[in-house]
Every structure is written in C-alpha cells, then in structure tokens.
Structure 1
Amino acid sequence: MELDVSRASPYDSRLTIGIDLGCDSFIMDRETAVTFLDTFITSHDFARYKNPIKPIIILQDPSVTDARDNIDSIRKHSVLLFEIPRVLMLEFRSNQILLWTHRFVSFLEEAEELVLLDTYSLENGSFSSNADLFPDKSKNLNRKMYRLASFLLIPHFTFTPITGVPWMATYQNQTVKINGMGGLIMVEFCRKHNCTWDIQIDQIGQWGTLYENGTGDGIMGTVYERRADVGVGSLLLWENAYWHLGFTSPIRKVGISCIAPRPRMIPSWQTIGFVFDLEVWIAVLVCIVCCIATYAFISHANPICDARGVIWNAMNVWAIVLFQAANILHQSAAQGMLSIALVIFAINLGNIFAGKNASLRTFPLFEPPIDTLQELADRGITWVQTHEAWIHSLQTPYNVYLRKIRDNFEVHNFLEMKTLADEGRVAIGVSRLNYGHYLIGDFITEENIMLYRLMQGDLYHDYEVSMTTKTWPFREQLSDLILRIVESGIRSYQEPIVAQQTMNFRVQTKIYHSRDREQTPPTPMGCGDLLGAFMLLGGGIVCGMLAFLGEVLGKYWRQRKINGYVKGFIW
C-alpha cells in the first residue's frame, strides 16, 4: 500500500486503515520519516489490528547530498528510541549502499549512534558480510528502562525498597525488589533481556477503567494513556480493554467464586415446623376442623346426643389429637365411629410427629448453604468487592443466573468492606489461584472468616494476561516467556512460597477447610430446646388474660348500661 503522508497534518486516517488491513512494514524516504514517526502512535492507537513487530526502512534520496539535520531528527525521535527496534536506514555512496540501524538503548547518547550492518555493492550485486539486516535487539537491552503499571495486590504484585544490591526496578526514584506471582514474571523478563522497570502505582484505581474520552485510571488507564508500557496484576481477558490494549499469552486460568455467609443454625424450637411439609400441615388442620364441625352437627341434629357447642367440641378434639384427657363421645353410632377414626388418626399422627421431631433434634439443623451460582442468584444475596473489574467478564452474560448475579454486585471501599465482612451478611468475591490459595482482601481476618463458607462452584472462569500498549515491541518475547514458565510447572512451586511470604496462612487454611462438616456431638437439652413450648404457654397466658380483661370490662359496661335504664325508668 502506498501513502503520501502530508507534513501539514500529524495524523492521516488512511494510515490507520492501512494498519487494519494488515500492513506491518513501512518504507519511506528521509523527508517523510519524521512525519511518519509523529503519527505512528496515534495511528496505531486508533487501529484494531495489533502487531507489535513493525520493521521500517528509511531510504535516502540520491539527489539530496546533505541531510544531516534530517538524520539527527530521526535518530532522536522518541518513537524510534522506545517503540521500533527494527529500523534499517539506507545511504547511497557512489557504487554502494550502506545499511545502518540504531542502538536500541536507554541512554540518548548511545541511542543516537548508528551501527553499520552491511554494505551492498551495486557493481557486484552482493552484500559484503551477509549480515542480518533486522537483528534481534531484545537479547541485550543494556538496562533499557520501561514503565510497568500495577498496584499492591497480594499475592500478584508487591515490592519492597532495597539499597546496595543489583536492582531491576525503581519506584519514585527508589530502587525496589519486585515480588508476587505476576511481578516475578516481569523480573524474569528483565533478567533475560537485561532491562529495568519504572513502576507506576495507582492504588485507588486498582485494575482501572477506560473512558470514552480516551482517558482512564488504574492499570488499564495508565497503559492506555501511555504513562506505562506494560500492566500486570491479575488482569483478565476483558472485552472493554481488548480494543484499546495489547494482550500477552494467558498466564493462568482464573476461577472467580465467592465466600458466602455460613449457614446459620436453626433454633431447635423452629424444628417443629420442619416435621411436615406445609401441605401436610394444611391437610391436618383441615381434618381437625372437619371433625369439630361434624361433632357439632351431630350433637345438635341427633336428639339422643347431649347438645354441645362448637367451643366445647373444638377443645375436646384438640385434646384427643394432643393425647390429653378427653371425652370419647359415643352416645350414638355416628359419634362412636367418628371418635374411633379420630383416635386412630391421632395415634398415628402423634407417633409419626414424635419420631420425626426426635430425629431432627438429634443433631443441629442449619439453613441451606449457597454452593452454586444458581443458589446465589435465587437467594438474591448481594456480593461485594472493591472494584467493578470483578464483573467486567459479565458484561454480556449468556446465562440468566449470571445476569442476575451481575446486577446484585456492589462496589465498596476498604472501610465499608471491613464493616460488611464483620457483619457476615453479604457474599464476598474471591479469586482461586491454581494451587490451593485464594486472592482476598485484607478486610478478611481470622475472626470474620468464621462467618463465611466457600462456594462449591465458580461464578465464571477467565484467563489472566498482561496488558501492553499496542506498539510495545516486546509483547511476543513476554508471551513466549510466560508460556515457558507455565509449561515448566514452576508456578506450582512458586505459589506456596509467595503465599507464605505475603498472605495470612490461617485465613487461607480456614477458607480451604470452610466446607468441612463441623463436629456437633449430642448435647443436653437446654431452655432453647423448650422455647417453643414456653412461647405457646406464654401466648396462651397472654390471650387468657386479655380474654379475662375483656370479660370483666364487658360485664362492667353491661351493668352500667342496665343501671342507666333503671334510673331513667324510675325518673
């Protein structure tokens, strides 16, 4: 594709279109090289096609004899110093062509020096040394410094100040030692390629957010605004970041789960209601009401039977059902048959109830646990974390339960998270590491972790990556290193060491064993076990006193009304 880049405009959308069509190599003359380099970053930021390997060839116009100023501008350009290691400059001299490249190092004085790669003879049509015209400059970057965006995230990224020892990173002009599962990958990259990192921390922004006006915060925003070249720290394959940043190879598979409120023990007095289903209780109540109505009808319809009111019959039927002293009515055949059926029904019902209630009281009962995403969605329970990045992967869920879980997510700051964690009424998002550990916040302590239980399943899965700018030239080298580290299995050895150094071992252990069944040996019955009986007795006493008070007041008002009539008659 051939483009005529105008000096009048620093950006030409046609260049972005060419990049999206797959153009990853550029040939230009020295007159337009500076203009091309000026628009290089902007054109690639607008492009969707992301290939960090961009060789460029800069030609010399044979008719131009003195272009020293132009060459100096090209060599000192920041894009050439940090974004494009594969540069080939052609210089024509009589019957030969000199092939130059630049030094891809941090020091400006050395970077301005050109290196002669080879010479091409126009007479012989051959190269003098057959050298590689695009050598791999990543093998030794001579401690070239790149910017690394992250935040303090245990166990993925931490750092501590150091002095007097070989260093690979700085933070605010202070030499530091990087640690953490993701940080150690960056250390190994610099150890392999002889480079250094300048750490950029945005603790408030955390993983970050990208905005439509081209700004952002956190890791993603820092890389997007090119305040950093690489971002690391449990970054996942988020769709909202894919169009703006470059992704490396996956570092690990991530499972996002929750620690849900631990099922609470059900008071023993409430177990009475669990003996039968609601349908059974309704059926028993209907049978009792039918018996009361039948007794009342027979006593009024049959002249040989003593007339009894509904209240008396109700008390008598309830006495039979509850195995209390009662009158077994048999003045007529109808009463006798009904009484026999009622007694048999009461004996069977009472024995079944007593046996089931005894089995329920043998061991404590607990509320149903929250183990799956369906149960978390059906309960409508809120789950919380410190950043909305926990639901970036749920922006377009295909599962109706995931949509509901996404809507139930809330973001809170650290102090609010600590308060909610101590209350134990909400679920808290956790990230499963690959070898038995969990990414949680410092708001989870040895005390409040006892209020939670790890879900059996995960809400969703994703893959952790490192994010770079679209033009960072060593994304493939970093991806290759990541794949080699994952393939070696060294992370199974590395994770326990990092966890022991940076995480609370007791909290991790309690999370891991939170699903274990608790030992609940039989215990003597206490007042709590008889609370139901006490509540019934108390309710009966209160109702009786209220009924007695109503009777007294009713009698008083009736007597007063009668006295008023008498006085009026005498008058």
Structure 2
Amino acid sequence: MNPISTYIDKTTLCIFWNEQFNFRLQQIEDHTSIVSVNINLLKTNFYTNYVGFEFKKKWLLHNNLACDDLCLIITLAIEKTHCETFIVFGNETIQFVNSFHKASVYSIWRSLHNKFIFVLDTYDFQEEWYENTFFQDQPNILFITHPSSSTNEVFDIRTNKFTGPKSLNPAKLYTLDRFFPALNRFQNAKSLFPSKLANLQGREIIIAGFDYPPYTIIKHNTISNAYDIGTRDKSDFYKVYIDGTETRVVLSFCEKFNCTVQINTSDADDWGTVYPNMSGSGSLGMVLKHKADICIGAMYSWYEDYRLLDHSMYLARSGITCLVPVPLRLASWYLPLEPFQETLWFAVLVCLTIETVGLVLAYKSEQKIFETNHHRKSWWNCWKFGLATTFKLFISQSGNSNAISFTVRVLLFACFLNDLIITSIYGGGLASILTIPSMDEAADTVQRLRTHKLPWAANSEAWVSSIRGSTEELVTDLLKNFHIYNDNQLLRFAQENPVRIGFTVERLPFGHFAIGSYLVPKAIDQLVIMQDDLYYQYTVAFVPRLWPLLDAFNMHIYNWHSSGLDKYWEHRVVATNLNMQIQQKVESTMTRSQDDIGPVTLGMSNFAGIMLVWVLGSVMAAVVFAAEVISKMYINF
C-alpha cells in the first residue's frame, strides 16, 4: 500500500489537480471517497451539477458573502461529501488556503480532523505564507517539496511547528522526513502527521473576556495569573487575575496541555453576536475575527452564532429566572368583606333573612291580638319594622319600637344574641386581618408573571435571544413585557421603593445565582426569586471554525464533569469571589413567608373599604332623603 494512504484511510479525499504535476493514486481503499477538482477549469467549465449548488449560491448572495468559484466548490465538497483530507499542488496553495478559510465557515458541516497536503516545488514556497493564520492554527499540515534542480528523486517532507508562543512563529516549517521514490522508503520512518497537541509548549490560548461572575471573573491590582493583551503593555490593567467556574476549565486545560492563558478585553463588553455577513460584535465577534481563540461566560448554544462558529460540549445548565417584587399588602375596597368567606357570608344573609321574616310575622301577629283595627299596622309597616330592627341589631344599635307581646320580646332577644355573636366574630376577623398582613399574589411563576403583565428587564438581548423566535403564546406574551436597559438604569429601578419591575438572574446548577452588580442588598430585600425558570439552556464555549484543540477540550470537559469538579468549583468560586450576603438573601427569598415581611404601618389605604362603605351609605341616605322630600312635595301639591 502507498504509505500516504495509511493517513487518509476511511476519509473523504479532495484532490485539486494541476497538470504540471504527474501524480497518480495507487492502492487507495475502496471505502475512501475521492473528490476531484481542477482549479484551472473552473472559469471555463464550472461544476454546476454539484448537489446543492444553486441553493448555496443563493444563500451566499442573500447574506452578501464573498465567494469565488473555488470557494463555492470547496464549500459544497465539505458540506455534501464531508471532505477532511485535502491535497493541493503548486502555486495554487495560497489560493486554496484563502478560499478554504471562507468555505470552512460557510459550510454548516465541520470537521475536527482535517489534514492538508501541499505538493510543490521548492521555489513555489513563499516566505509571506508564514504570516497567514492558516499555517499558524492548523497542526496537520504537510509540505512535500522537490528541488527542481536536483538530479536525485528525493522529496523533502516538512510541516509547521504549530507549538510554542506565537512570537516564535508557529507557522515556521521544519523538515520532518525525506522520501526516496527509487527505494520506496523514508529516511527516518517518522509519522507524517505527528501529534502536536499533547505538549503545546506555551502556545497562547486567548479568551475573549468580560467580567461576569461567577462564570468569568477578572480582577485588577491583585495577584496575576494572566495578561490582558487588549490593553497597553506595562499598564496598570495589563496583569490580571482571572477566575470563574468556566474560566477554571480553560486554566486546567492549559495546565494539562502546557499552554498559556491570556485574555483580550478590547471588544468584550458583552456577549455580542455574529451576523450572516461574517461580521460580529462583542466577545463572539472577537472569536469570528480571530482576535480570540475561545469565548466563555454563560454562552448559550445559540444557533445563529453556531452557523459561523463552533462550540464545545456543554459546560453547565443555566436557568434564566427573575427576581420579582415582593407581594404587596392587600389594602382595597373589599377589605370589609375579607373576614368571612363567601359561604359564610351566604349563611349570614340566610340567617338575617330568617330573622327578618320571623320578626315580620311575629309583629303582624302581635298587631292582630293586641291592637284594634284602627291602630293595626299594614304588612308594609311590618316589613319596615322587621328590616329596620334586623339591620339595627346586626350593627349593634338599639331600636325604638315598643314590643307588646312576650313572643316578640323573646324573638328580639334571640336575634340580639345571634347578631352579637356574628358581629363579635366579624370584628375579631377584621382585627386579625389588620394586625397580620394579608398579602397579594407575587408574580413568582411563569404563569403569574404573564397574568400580572409585570415588566422585566435585563442589560442585553442575549438574555432572551434563545426564545426570541418562539411562536408559543406564553413566550410571546412574556416577551412583550421584556425591556433592555443599561446597568445605570437598572440600578435606578432597583433603588426605587417599591420596586416595580423584575430583574433577570441566572440559576446555576448547584444552587447559586449569577446576579448583576446593579442588584444591591437593599433592592433584594424588596424582591423574591421565582419558583421556576423562564427557560434554561446549556452553556458552551464558542471557538473559531477548525479550532484544532476542540476535540481535546471536549474530552477535558467530559472528564471535568465525571470527576465532580463542576460542583466543587462552583462552590469555591462563589465563596471566594462573590458577595455571599447577596447569595444568601436571594436564596432565602425562595422560602420567604408573609410573616417575614415585618410590620407595616397602617395608613388610609388600609381603611379604603370602610370609607367606601361610609361613602356609599351616605350617598344612599342622601338619595332616599331627596326622594322623600320630593315625594312629600308632590303629595302636598
């Protein structure tokens, strides 16, 4: 078997042919797929029969993405045939590299195991290639060169150094081996694609960093463990101390693979986003522009960003929830009705009705027995006596009627005792309501947040970008009340008394919270945490396409989860770097009862219902009095 085939077995091989090189494939395994492209024929005979050609071209034009014919062919080859090994000849190398960088981003499919073989004459290689980031960032690059002036058939096999600090030019080539075609053997029989990732020899990994505890923490003017390359050298902010639940994953990764962690805060003022036209902002934009190698800090697996970037396996479960205003004390017009439940009020009305009917019948009977026909009262007068007496007894007022019969007196006494018990119970219930606060319903669930139409806010669109495209009615109703403010505005809202909006926070997997700096302890005293999450996502680390360390980084994350360090580090980071008083305050709101709110000074609002009864009574009395006056005037007239 051809020696090179041992490295490209079971992969899709893309060959970019060149007539100046006499190259043939020998003994390639049947299950190795081959895609052939002739760059020189693209302009005259473009491969329009490629599957998905029209759709991909329209997509590129729609998003204003520059892509020549070669770029489009490579994009389709990667996306449709899953090419992972590429063989390029001669001076077309740099043309391929420039197109491949774009194609690797345009294609939705991505590979972690790409290999690149460049076959060229010695004079074809140009020193400015060293400046191309492709040769710095890809470890599996092989240059096969043949000196054209040499009479012996000897091929030099070189590869890029890749490891070491970038100041030492990791794109620089060194001779890996030599191949003698006549003898069909290598000089040193070394691996053509040696592993360069086990020891990175101090190669930098740059984090797009912004301070977002407890995921990422950046401290100045203290002990330092990293450099902020986004600041001027030797400035006060050049040396920083970084920590965090996700930052520790990167730090421990570099401890294992001997790399150096640096951060770049130049544009990382927010999570940011990337756009279809290959531009971006914030931390994600820095990764797309290759100003950073990795982006962490509660980054969710956002699909739109994933289209142009790559991300790791999940780091943590993050639940988006809200701190909402505490339930307010009930002080409304129906306060006089609260001492009794609806069923009890119904029973009281039935009892009063029975009393009224009994008094009417007893009074009418008394009139028949003791009064003459001339002084006998009508049924209308009897009903007035029954209603007035029942109402007076119910509000503990004495009557002015003269009861003659023993039956009416006993009945009045029984009604008085019955009403006395009812009013005593009512007075005790009303006193307890005024003494022990009766609270309104808090918007502490998703359904209640929707029902109350409570405004809730955050400092970035990233808080809701994962649910922004949802068609669910519940989600769309919640998003209608979502607002974005800067930190100063949120601080002002948090200092209001009372607080009138909800504030987004993140619920970490092991009981802690990511809380904005604008939520001071005084504000949290007026807030409670919601019982459930608005939604949840799994955080990831975003990296550029073709990041060669992603496979090793994913395995490191897997081992991190398996060992239980995720829980241990969360507790340690929170205890070391966060305000535990705020954490405990937020946690305590999960079980906060109405009694915990404390005594509240009574005001006129507490007697709104009683005042309303007085006003209604006065209005009704005035209307009745006016009706009596008018009717009297009409009768006299």
The TM-score range, normalised by the shorter chain, is 0.7 to 0.9
Following superposition, the deviation at residue 150 of structure 1 comes to 2.7
**3-state SS of paired residue (2:290):** coil
Cα distance in structure 2, aligned partners of 1:367 and 1:231: 43
Structure 2: gaps (5+ residues): 1-34, 44-67
Cα distance between partner residues in 1 of 2:303 and 2:402 = 79
- Residue 418 (structure 2) pairs with residue 418 (structure 1): no
Q: Residues 146 and 198 of structure 1 are in contact (CA less than 8 Å); yes or no, is this contact kept in structure 2? A: yes
Aligned residue for 1:2? 36
Mapped contact 1:296–1:309 kept (Cα < 8 A):
yes
Counterparts in 2 of 1:178 and 1:336: CA distance versus 1, 3 Å: same
CA offsets, 1:228-271, max 9 Å, x none? 33211110112222212111011111122211111223359965
Q: Aligned equivalents of 2:599 and 2:560: distance in 1?
A: 58
Q: Do the aligned partners of residues 331 and 241 (structure 1) sit closer, same or farther apart at CA in structure 2, a change above 3 Å counting?
A: farther
Task: Indicate the residue corresponding to 1:458 in structure 2.
Answer: 533
Deviations 1:193-225 (A, max 9, x none): 333355332678511133344322222222234
The 1:109–1:340 alpha-carbon spacing in structure 2 relative to 1, beyond 3 Å, is closer
State the partner residue of 2:115.
55
Aligned length: 551
Give secondary structure in 2 for the equivalent of 1:28. strand
Name the CA shift for 1:284/1:18 in 2 (closer, same or farther; >3 Å). Answer: farther
Q: Tell me the distance in 2 between the aligned counterparts of 1:367 and 1:518.
A: 12
Match of 1:89 in 2: 143
The superposition leaves residues 405-449 of structure 1 with CA deviations (integer Å, 9 ceiling, x where unpaired) of 233221111111112212311111111123332101111112111
* Aligned partner letter, 2:140: R
Distance 2:225 2:453 in 1: 53
Which residue of the other structure, out of 312, 319, 330, is the alignment partner of 1:248?
312
Secondary structure, counterpart of 2:504 in structure 1: strand
CA distance in 2, matches of 1:526, 1:46: 65
The 1:225/1:340 distance shift into structure 2, 3 A limit, reads farther
Q: Which amino acid aligns with 2:559?
A: R
Cα distance between partner residues in 2 of 1:358 and 1:289: 26
Distance in 2, Cα, partners of 1:466 & 1:524? 48
Q: What's 2:543 paired with? A: 468
Give the number of the structure with larger relative contact order, counting CA–CA contacts within 8 Å between residues 6 or more apart. 1
* Counterpart pick for 2:123 among 68, 76, 93: 68
- SS of 1:370's partner is coil
For 1:254-265, what aligned pairs fall within 5 Å after superposition?
Answer: 254-265=318-329
Contact 2:208 2:283 in 1 (8 A): yes
Moved more, 198-207 or 177-186: 198-207
Aligned to 2:466: 393
Q: Which residue of 2 aligns with 1:196?
A: 260
Q: Which residue of 2 aligns with 1:364?
A: 437
Question: How do 1:119-198 residues align onto structure 2 when only pairs under 5 Å count?
Answer: 119-161=178-220, 167=226, 170-172=229-231, 173=233, 174-198=238-262
Distance of aligned partners of 1:95 and 1:449 in 2 relative to their CA distance in 1, 3 Å threshold: same
CA distance in 2, matches of 1:381, 1:506: 27
TM-score, normalising length: structure 2: 0.73
Q: Are the aligned partners of 1:100 and 1:118 in contact in 2 as well (CA < 8 Å)? A: yes
CA-based RMSD of the aligned residues comes to 4.6
Task: Pick closer, same or farther for the CA change 1:203–1:258 going to 2, 3 Å.
Answer: farther
1:6-21 correspondence runs (5 A): 9=68, 11-21=70-80
How far apart, CA to CA, are the structure 1 residues paired with 2:305 and 2:174? 38
Letter aligned with residue 111 of structure 2: N
Q: 2:279 aligns with which of 184, 195, 215?
A: 215
- Counterpart of 2:175 in structure 1 is 116
Amino acid across the alignment from 1:88: L
Residue 104 of structure 2 is aligned to residue 104 of structure 1: no
Whether the aligned pair in 2 keeps the contact of 1:5 and 1:12 (CA below 8 Å) is no
CA distance in 2, matches of 1:444, 1:258: 12
Q: Is the 8 A contact 2:321 2:532 kept in 1?
A: yes
Shift in Å, 1:136: 1.9
Q: Which residue of 1 aligns with 2:456?
A: 383
Distance 1:525 1:212 in 2: 56
Q: Distance in 1 between matches of 2:223 and 2:332?
A: 66
Ranges in structure 1 where 5+ consecutive residues have no aligned partner: 61-65, 559-571
CA offsets, 1:246-303, max 9 Å, x none? 110111111222111112233599653323456876897799799989999999xx98
Structure 1 residues 203 and 352: alpha-carbon distance in aligned structure 2, compared to 1, 3 A threshold: farther
Q: Name the CA distance, whole Å, in 2 between partners of 1:14 and 1:541.
A: 83
Work out which of the residue numbers 468, 474, 479 in structure 1 matches 2:554: 479
Identity %: 23
Q: Are 1:150 and 1:206, in contact at CA under 8 Å, matched by a contact in 2? A: no
Q: Deviations over 1:517-538 (max 9, x none)?
A: 45949x9999669964994499
Maintained 8 Å contact 2:325/2:527: yes
Q: 2:393 aligns with which of 301, 320, 324?
A: 320
Aligned residue for 1:89, secondary structure, equals strand
